[in-house]
Amino acid sequence: MTEQFDGPNATPVTAGAPDWFRAALGVPYEEHSVEVAGCPIHYLAWGAPGRQGLVFVHGGGAHARWWTHIAARFSSEFRVLAVDLSGHGDSGQRETYTLDQWTEEVMAVAADGGVAGKPVLIGHSMGGFVTIATAALNGDSVAGLIICDSPVTEPDPEVESYRLKQAFGRPRTYSSIDEAVGRFRTVPAQANSLSYVIDYVARNSLRPVEGGYRWKFDDNIFVQFARSMRGIALPYLHQVDCRVALLRSEFGLVTPTIGQSMFEALGRVAPVIELPEAGHHAMLDVPLTLLTALRTLLADWEHSDAHHAVR
């Protein structure tokens, strides 16, 4: 496979990647870190400081650069931030992880990142759980919330524990970056991810260790949350008072039934929008569809009044 390097940070880009993807990776960005409760929290930033802010939050086992090709496309209008939650990406690790601690990290990044006013939070999967709790606990400081295929429901402890242990089991060391990239898999698996996006994400998911490379995420996260991940945001859902929208992937984890229950819990004012042909990780298989949905929601919120929740 031939690689070419685009952008100011010489990020590898798979040969054959389309122009829009190359352009997104070529948008200038900054890397920053802010300390939260003794742990360095790394984040990426695009666009000029002092603008309305968007804060992108990744899913479990992922990192900020899962969002790069989406987030960078908003840089001409917004101050855009993408966080590495503790235990992920290039942030530090903790002995224990809590949902409330992750919400503090999101708000700390928003405060440190040069955002004007209240940010809109955009969270995928576990990141959606984090942003739900963040909005619930910081209602006066969040302008809106877009939840991307985050199934907030009562968990099935046995099934969820087995699934997470199978997916994020014993850490493995790979002898080379190429070997690791060849073994990269999403959880849950999906068949139609774009190869150039997968290659970029995978190559930014690795850290050097003695004898080779390992994935950056802390395996202890999945030990701690193995029996409760889907339910961690459930107590917070009915407390969210800002504008909310739920993007449901057609072949994702938020079933129509779960989408309806979340709609009810959010006070029957949050639109539930299906992304056609999308797997759970929409940024990997239908990124332009996801981008269009985000742009449409943000444009609508700019020119419309919010409805009040009915509870």
Interval 169-188: pLDDT, tens: 567 899 999 999 999 999 88
Strands in the chain per DSSP E: 3-6, 11-14, 30-36, 39-46, 53-57, 79-83, 120-124, 144-148, 206-209, 212-215, 243-251, 272-279
Q: Which of 155, 103, 108 is nearest to 127 (CA)?
A: 103
What's the helix, strand, coil split of the chain in %, to 5? 35, 20, 40
Q: What is the pLDDT of residue 227?
A: 60
Bigger pLDDT: 224 vs 193? 193
Q: Which of 177, 166, 240 is nearest to 204 (CA)?
A: 177
What mean pLDDT is predicted for residues 76-82?
98
pLDDT, averaged across the chain:
90
Q: What is the pLDDT of residue 159?
A: 39
The string of pLDDT tens digits covering residues 1-44 is 233 434 334 456 777 899 999 999 999 999 999 999 999 999 99
The string of pLDDT tens digits covering residues 196-236 is 999 999 999 999 999 999 999 998 888 777 666 778 899 99
Grade residue 310 by pLDDT with cuts at 50, 70 and 90: low
d(CA 110, CA 122): 12
Report DSSP letters for 182-209, one per residue: HH---SS--S---HHHHHHHHHTSEEEE
d(CA 110, CA 203): 26
Q: Which helix (H) or strand (E) covers residue 292, if one does?
A: helix 287-302
Q: What is the pLDDT of residue 2?
A: 30
> What values do phi and psi take at 133, rounded to 5?
-65, -40
209: left (phi over 0), alpha (psi -120 to 50) or beta: beta
Q: What is the DSSP letter of 174?
A: B
Bigger pLDDT: 163 vs 45? 45
Grade residue 51 by pLDDT with cuts at 50, 70 and 90: very high
Which percentage of the chain shows pLDDT scores above 90? 79
**Per-residue pLDDT at 127 exceeds 80:** yes
Token pair, residue 155, equals: 């968990």
**Per-residue pLDDT at 58 exceeds 80:** yes
What mean pLDDT is predicted for residues 232-260?
95
Can you list the domains of the chain with their CATH numbers? Answer: 3-300 (3.40.50.1820)
Q: What is the pLDDT of residue 230?
A: 76
Give residue 172's Cα distance to chain centre: 24
Grade residue 167 by pLDDT with cuts at 50, 70 and 90: low
Residues 274/248, Cβ–Cβ less than 8 Å:
yes
Q: What is the pLDDT of residue 162?
A: 42
What mean pLDDT is predicted for residues 140-151?
96
What mean pLDDT is predicted for residues 78-88?
98
